[in-house]
Each structure stands twice: as structure tokens, then as C-alpha cells.
Structure 1
Amino acid sequence: MATPRLTYLEKVGFGSGDMAINVVISSMFLIISYFYTDIFGLKPSHMGILFLVARLVDAVTDPLMGMLTDRINTRRGRYRPYFLVFAVPFGVSVLLLFTTPDWGYNAKLVWAYATYLLVTLLFTAVTIPYISLIGVLSDDPKDKLSANGYRLFFAKIAAFLVTIIVPKLAESFGDGRLEFGYQIAMGLMGLLATLLLLFCYFTTTERVQHRIDDKPLRQQFAILRKNDQWLLLCGACFTGTMGYVMRSSVAAYYAKYYLGAGPGLLSAFLTAGVGAAILAMVASTWITKSYCKVKLFRYSQVAVGLLSVLMFVVVDPGEVLLAFVLYFLISFVVDLHAPVFWSAIAEAVDYGEAKTGRRVSGLAFGGISFFQKAGMGVAGFLVGILLTYFHYEPNVDQSAFTLTGIALMLSVIPGVFHTLMGAFMFRYRITDEYYESLASYGAGQLASEHPAATEFGPGPSR
């Protein structure tokens, strides 16, 4: 039986949850590397190792959180209660992350580890339930795609706040002490995240009830390994996140040192990328009304690779206007896939149930979150290592060798990862028509009428 259509308030409420989460994830993408090296005072190599260690923690906590959401169902829902419980701790952890104690280097390094890992754990506690929530709000694929459009729009609004308001607030409140300014500015963002998580909790309803099999972890992994479409999404998520995080992490360095930007222009450069991404959310929803969403995913990421090479070749140090244009264009094209990807996860879970006869939901979403954060960790590690390799030193004039390295890290290197992401999606086949066949036929008939559902390889792509 079809569920009622989602109301605008529910879509806004659903989007507010991702806005809360993206206060943290946008700071990790856009400013945390710059904050750690140029304000907090970490060595780039130590910063990179910290990011990698945090992802090793995720290797344990993400699957555990996925299993927890599978096993516990309350009268308030399976996923929403976590927003109520963890909203305040989540906001406080953001404040602590951007607090710079007046200690010696080793003590500050310990503080950085403690606060970053705290944010990582609380991020898992709200993100796994949140990305699973779309699967129980509605059973209509177009409704899910629309809700994800709202979600990603609000996520980019959070990124706007981080890139526009945070630097200005930090400069205003800091009064010459940027470390104090960032603490206050991000503390306010943490408060906003808390309020948004509570708003998401009170405005959404879990309508769809899926039967979750009580299976041991090893058996759940075995079932997921048979879901070839989910495995493709994991690969796409890992490579795409690596490209996105590396470009976003280096953008501040690129603006400050390669383009010679002051604080105002640096903020404007970061904001140009976020603004392009917001427009991409709108454009993607419009394009997918008449064009195959899977093809859009594939070709947009290949195009990012080509545009990235073009940017490296034609933009010289100090060429602000051309750099802005190409960075805006890359940021627009790269995010055309985003609404498609996050709706595809729920569809891949349904595909796995149709293929194997067993449903694994929490671990599937937890696995995607792990690959996303693994991509963040590996990209962060590479940023730290490459900054060291290219002889980067904070707050000084950079050599030509260092500037070339920063340009490569903003353009060509992330472009390669996005091309790999697009390559994964050339083997993905769950289009809207294909998904409707899953709902119509069920596991047995699907296997007989759509043999490709039991094989790893290209299937229908209309």
C-alpha cells in the first residue's frame, strides 16, 4: 500500500536534519584543514594522521551504529529518537572542536585528537539514523528524490553559513585573536545544529515499516556482499568523497596563496563553490524530470575530471577572475549527482532484498557512511602529506613548487577521483523504470524476468 505523499513541512524538516549535520561536515570539508594548520598550529603531517586515525575508529562505530538502528525500534520510531538524544551533545562537540587551548604543542595535539574523535563519534550517532530515515518516510521513489533535493539544498545552506558567516564572525569576535573568534563563531553554529536536529525530530514521521531480520553481523556482511549495486555505490562514495574533500580542503590555501586573496576574497572564493553547489541541487531536480538520473550521475563526474585539468592548465597564479569562473563551474557540475546518489542508497537496499530475499538496512546505510568518512579520512591524510611534500609553511610566501602543488591538489588530483566515481556508475543500473520493476514483481519474478538482477554487470539504463 502506497504511503501518503510527503508535505512541504516534512521535506523542510527532513532537510533541516542534513543542515545540522552539514554544519560539521562542511567545516570538515572547507575549513578544518586551514584551521588546524594556520590557526590552531598543527603540522600538516600530524593533521593528516589525525584524519586517518579517526576513520579507523569509524570502521568500528559505523557498522555498530547501523546494527543498533536495525535492532531497536521504539514507539517514536526507529531513527528519529537519536536526534532527540544526541542533539545537545552534538552541538557542544562542535564548540570544543574549534577551541584552541593555550598549551604546548604536544598537549594541543592531544586536545585535537580528543575533540576530533568526539565529534566523529557523535557525528556517527546522528548521521547513520539520518541517512536511513529517507527509507521510512515514503515508499515513492520520486518523493524520495524530491525530499533528497530539499535535504541537499539545506546542506548547502549550512556550507554557506560556514564559508560566509564563520570567517566574518571569527574576525569580528576575535579582535586580532582568530583562534578565539573561531571558537565563538563555530559555537554558534553548534547551537544552530542542535536546534535543527530537534526541528527535524518534531516535523518528520516514520511511515514505512520494514521487517528487519535479526541476523549476526557476519551474515549481514555476507548478504551485503551479494548486493552488487550497493557495492558500486560504496566505491562511488569513497572515490567521490576523496575528490570533494581534497578540493574543498585546499580551496582556502588556493585562494590565500595561489590567488593572493585577503580574508574577504578568500571567503568569496569558498562561497562561490557553495553557491554553485546550491544551484546544482535545483538543476539536478529539474534535469532528472526528463533525463535519466543514472546517466546524469555518470557523465557529470567525467566532465568534472576534464574541467579540472582545464583549470590547472589555464589558470596562472593571481588570475582571480578565471579561477572564480572555473571553480564555480566545477563546483556546479560535481554536485549534479548528489540528489541521485542519496536516493539511490535506499533503492539499492530494496534491490538487495529483492535479489537475496533478505533485507539489510542499517548496516547498508552504515556502510555507505563509513565509505564516505573513509574517503574523508584518506583525502585528509593525503592533503596533510602532500602539503608536507610540497614544502608548505603557514602564513608565509610560498615557493613556485608549493603553489604548483596547491593548484594540483585543487584541480587535477580530485578530478581523477571524480572520474573514477563516474566510471563506477557505468555499471550501475537501478533507473526509475528498473526500480519500479522491483516493487512490481518481487524477488522470485524479478530473478526470472530480469536475469541481470542476479549478475554483476550492466543492466537496463533507460
Structure 2
Amino acid sequence: MTENSGKLKKGLKLGYGFGTIGESIAYNTFYLYFIYFLTDFAGISPAVAGTISLVAVLWDAITDPLIGYLSDSSKNPKGRRRPFILRFAIPLSIMVFVIFTDFAFITGTAKVVYFFIANILFWFFFTAADIPYISLGAELTDDYNERTSIRTYATIFNYIGMIAASAGTITLVDKIGTAVGDAGKGWSYTALIFGALTFLAFFVAWRATRGHEKKVETERTKVNMSFIKAYVDSFKIKPYRKILMYTLFFNAGMMLMSSAMIYLMSYIAVLDEAQIATVFLVYSLMVIGASFLINALHGKIEKKWMVVIITAITAVGVLLFRVFDLNHISIYIYAFFVALGNAAYFILIWSMNFDVCEIDEFKTGERREGVIMAFMSFFLKFATAIGMALTGFILDAFGYNAEVLEQSERALNGIRDAGTTIPAILIAVSFIFALTYPVTKDKFEALKKALELKRAGKEYSTDGFEDIL
């Protein structure tokens, strides 16, 4: 196994992080606009459009663990991650175009089947490229602080991609649609551009990381046995369980806030469309700014304690706005707390998840970055689904009516609770898992030294890190 230790060149971190633009454009374009495209341009009913989207996302959550396992098990002489990235980035870029193209000759039930199959394929190819890409980040270095730096670059590029997807989509669709005299073609050509950008981003990451992937010899055993055992074994790792449970509660709360944010801006802060668009743009810039701040502090403050502090700030910060109502100014303060929480999660928690790979190897003798990242991705998507579902349940329970311009006071209270009280409770639960997370830099460094001795077949001791095993 080639060793990737110590500091990484900035060019490598930039190149790897650039791949997140492709991930973000594909991911966010789907979540922001796919249902809207189906209902308003492809002529599919909202209920059917929602079902197509839900089934595909659930399928994606199921395929995450499978792709992670297959990537770990790969014996490709060129590596376990990069061949997946290049091979599946191509069909992924094509499917970005396909899911936003309404072919005139496909009608009725055939159209529903077409978009259902296209959506399934889109998410399969997304997972097949993205899980190995994320896993590769853990292989670039085993340095405790450099992993945080890698995730900082990735998070910044992620939100650059989000800005492109959120603000760029409607602008391009409008301009291209007007130019060709067909709004539907505006969507197709925009998706074609985004598909090309998706491939370009993953290609840059693939090229930049050449020669930096670890080569690991593994014994391939019977898939249906090893597949299950791999995930059972990973869940036995104490720090990993803490990360997974933190992910579940924290992201359910964050997704609930993110979903409720548009309602808070529309009905509580009473903003118009231009003001709402500005808030979303500033929010994305806030995440990028928070990412730079976290990167500057990560060598001075333990990852765990930064997560603990920021989790507490996020929970208390958003809860304050249940007491103090939002307006056109305070909405930016609210957005800052959401941005800070998101930046911390995608930088620090994913960096901490990278560290689990060495703990797993110490316990099992195997390198299973794919399994570790895939199970994490599964919990993240499950939490996202919970947060999105909670938004609908809460609004419905409080009598929200989309057909009226002014909501009842009861409905307004439901919107406030969906965006403040309930997310704060969920995030407060995640705080407990962050506080009890046992890995520190000193313990991780002690484990790495013992792991080197174990790899060499020499005697080793677990003194100083027994509690993280």
C-alpha cells in the first residue's frame, strides 16, 4: 500500500475539490428544479412527479452501500476509486441532459415510464461516480489536519456549484428558451451545458489525483456474505456510530430549516421574489466565507470541539428567531446560522469520517473507505428525506393553505416552528453525539503509529487510544 502522509500541494487539493462542482451541479439541479420541470414543462401531475422523484432518491440511498462495497473490492490495477469516477462521470453527464429533456414523441404513460427510468439511471450513475470520489479524499492523506483542509476546498467548490445550479439554471433557461423560441429546448440546452460541466469537474479531479490513490491488495470473497459483514463491522466502530447518529439528527434539522426557509421568507419576513433570490445568493456566499473561517481555525482547535461549539451556536441561534420575528434584515442573520452549521458539517464531519478509515483498518486489517463513505451518505440522504417529509407534515398539521395569499395565525406558527423550534431540538440531540465523540488528534496520531507497527508485523500497544476502538 502506498503511503499518503503529510501536507498536500495546493494544486492537488484544488484539483480534487473542483470535482465537487460536478457533484453539486448535478445534485442541486435535480433537487431544485426536477419536479418543477416535470409539472410545468413535461405536463406530469404533481403527485406522479413527486412519486418519480421519491422512488429514485430512495433507490439512490440503497445503491450507496453497494457502490461503496464494489469500489472497496475492486482489483483494478489503476486503483479502486479513479476508474469509477471517470467511467461513470460520462453516463452521468448524459443523464443530466436526459432527465431535463421532454421528447415530443413520448406521451402519456410512456412519458411517465421514460422519466422514471431516466431518473433511476441518473441516480445510479451519480452514486457510481460520487461515492468513489468522496472515498478518494480519505486516501489522499492520512494527516489529521490536511483532511479538514481537503474538505474545505470541496465545500467551497460545492457551494460554487450550488450558486451555478440555483441562480444559473433559470437565467440560462430563460435566455436560451427566448433565443430559440422554445422554453422546453431552453431546459434541454441548459441541461446539456450542465452535463458537460459535470463531466469536466469530475475529469479535473480524476486528472489532478493521478498517482495519489492508495493501492490496496484485498481478498475478494463471496459478495452477498462480505457485503453484509462489511456494514455490520463498520457499525461496530464507536466513533463511526457517533458520526452516523450526529448526521441523522443534525441533517434532519438542517433540511427542515432549509425546506422551511422559503416559507419563512415568503410569509414571516414577507420578501418578494427578488429579495428571496438575494437571500439565497448571500446564504451561499456565507457558507463559502464560513468555510474559510473553519479552515483557518482547524489547526488551532480540535475538530470535535469546533463541531460542538458550532452545533450549539446553530441550535441556539435559530431558536432565537422563534422569539424574535424575522424581517428583511434579520433573515440574513438567520441564514448565517444555517450557513455556519452546513459549512461545519460538510468540512468537519466528513473529515472526521475520513479518520474512521484508519480505525477500521486497525480493527479489521482492511481498507474500506467506500463502505465508510457510502454508509455515511446513506444516513445523510435518509436524514434529508426525514427533514423534507417533516416540513410537509408540520405545514399540513398547522393548516397551511398554498391557495391563499395570507395564512392563518396558526399556519404562521407552524411555519415558525418548522424553521426554528423543531430544527433546534433535532440539532440539540446531535450536540450530544458530538460532545461524546471520542477521537482527538493525539489519540488519532497514537493509533496511526500503532497501525504502522501492526502493518509491519511488529508488536504494538493500544495505550492512549483504547476508547476509540
Which of 195, 200, 205 aligns to 1:200? It is 205
Task: Give the counterpart letter for 1:218 in structure 2.
Answer: I
CA offsets 1:378-416 (integer angstroms, 9 cap, x no match): 333333444544555657525234444334333333333
Q: CA deviation at 1:4?
A: 6.7
Match of 2:468 in 1: 453
Determine the structure 1 residue equivalent to 2:172: 169
* Aligned with residue 298 of structure 1, among 275, 296, 308: 308
Matches within 5 A, 1:31-70: 50=52, 52-70=54-72
User: Could you tell me which residue of structure 1 aligns to residue 344 of structure 2?
Assistant: 336
Cα distance change, pair 344–287 in 1 and its aligned pair in 2 (3 A):
same
| Counterpart for residue 134 of structure 1 | 137
Residue in 1 that maps onto 2:86: 84
In structure 2, the CA distance between the partners of 1:187 and 1:410, relative to structure 1 (3 Å rule), is farther
Q: Following the alignment from structure 1 to structure 2, what is the Cα–Cα distance between the partners of residues 402 and 104?
A: 39
Match of 1:363 among 365, 371, 375: 371
Residues 94-141 of structure 1 deviation map (CA, whole Å, 9 limit, x = unaligned): 233344678989776655544433322122111110111012222322
Structure 1 residue 47, shift from structure 2 partner? 6.1
Distance in 2, matches of 1:245 and 1:186, equals: 25
2-side partners of 1:191 and 1:14: how far apart? 18
Question: Does the CA contact (< 8 Å) of 2:257 and 2:423 recur in 1?
Answer: yes
Equivalent AA in structure 2 for residue 131 of structure 1: I
Correspondence for 2:253: 243
Contact 2:64 2:131 in 1 (8 A): yes
Tell me the distance in 2 between the aligned counterparts of 1:395 and 1:173: 31
Is contact 2:8-2:141 (8 Å) kept? yes
Describe the shift of the 1:47–1:277 C-alpha distance in structure 2 as closer, same or farther (beyond 3 A).
farther
Secondary structure at 2:462 match in 1: helix
TM-score under structure 1 length normalisation: 0.86
Which letter maps to 2:144? Answer: P
Change (3 A) 1:262 1:145: same
Letter in 2 for 1:425: A
- The correspondence of residues 63-462 of structure 1 with structure 2, limited to 5 A, is 63-99=65-101, 110=113, 113-175=116-178, 181-205=186-210, 206-215=212-221, 216-316=226-326, 319-390=327-398, 397-400=405-408, 401-442=410-451, 445-454=460-469
Which has the larger displacement, 96-105 or 440-449?
A: 96-105
Structure 2 segments unaligned to the other structure (5+ residues): none
How big is the shift at 1:158?
0.7
* Matching residue's letter, 2:121: L
Instruction: Using CA pairs under 8 Å that are at least 6 residues apart, name the structure with larger relative contact order, 1 or 2.
Output: 1
Contact conserved, 1:148 with 1:342, CA < 8 A, in 2? yes
Instruction: Measure, in 2, the Cα distance between the counterparts of 1:304 and 1:56.
Output: 28
Q: Which amino acid aligns with 2:94?
A: V
What's the TM-score, normalizing by structure 2?
A: 0.84
Asked if structure 1 preserves the Cα contact closer than 8 Å seen for 2:4 and 2:214, the reply is: no
CA distance in structure 2 between the aligned counterparts of 1:309 and 1:43, rounded to whole angstroms = 37
Equivalent position amino acid for 2:352 in 1: A
Please tell me the residue identity of whatever aligns with 2:123. T
